[in-house]
Amino acid sequence: MKITSKLLVGFVTAVTFLLPDPSSGKEARVTQIIREVKLLPADKAAHEAALNDKVSEDTGVRTGGDSRSELTFPDLTITRLGANTVFSFTKSGRTATVETGSILLRVPKDSGGGSIRSSAVTVAVTGTTVIFEGSRGGRSKLITLEGSSAVSLKRNPKEFRKVLAGQMIDVPAGATTLPMPVNVDLNDIMRNHPLITDFKPLPSQPLIMAAAQQAPPPPPPSYTGPTISIVPVINFGPNRGPRPTRSPGTTKPPNNPTTHPVTQPPGTTKPPTTTTQSTPTPTPPPVILRNAPNQTYTPPNRTTTNTKKVTKKPTPTPAPIR
pLDDT at 9 over 50: no
Helices (H), 202-313: 205-214
pLDDT per position as a tens digit, 74-131:
988 999 999 999 999 887 777 899 989 999 999 998 888 889 999 999 999 988 999 9
Residue 253 has what DSSP assignment? P
Which whole-number Å values give the CA distances from 83 to 62, 72, 187, in the listed order?
A: 9, 18, 22
Q: What is each CA distance from 283 to 102, 160, 302, 312, in whole angstroms?
A: 102, 100, 9, 22
171 or 286, greater pLDDT? 171
What's the 3-state SS for 96-141? EEEEEEEEEEECCCCCCCEEEECCCEEEEECCCEEEEEECCCCCEE
Tens of pLDDT, residue by residue over 267-304, are 555 555 555 555 666 666 665 555 555 555 555 555 54
pLDDT at 249 over 60: no
C-alpha Rg value of the chain to the nearest Å: 50
- Cα 267 from Cα 174, distance rounded (Å): 80
pLDDT at 138: 87
Average pLDDT score, the chain: 77
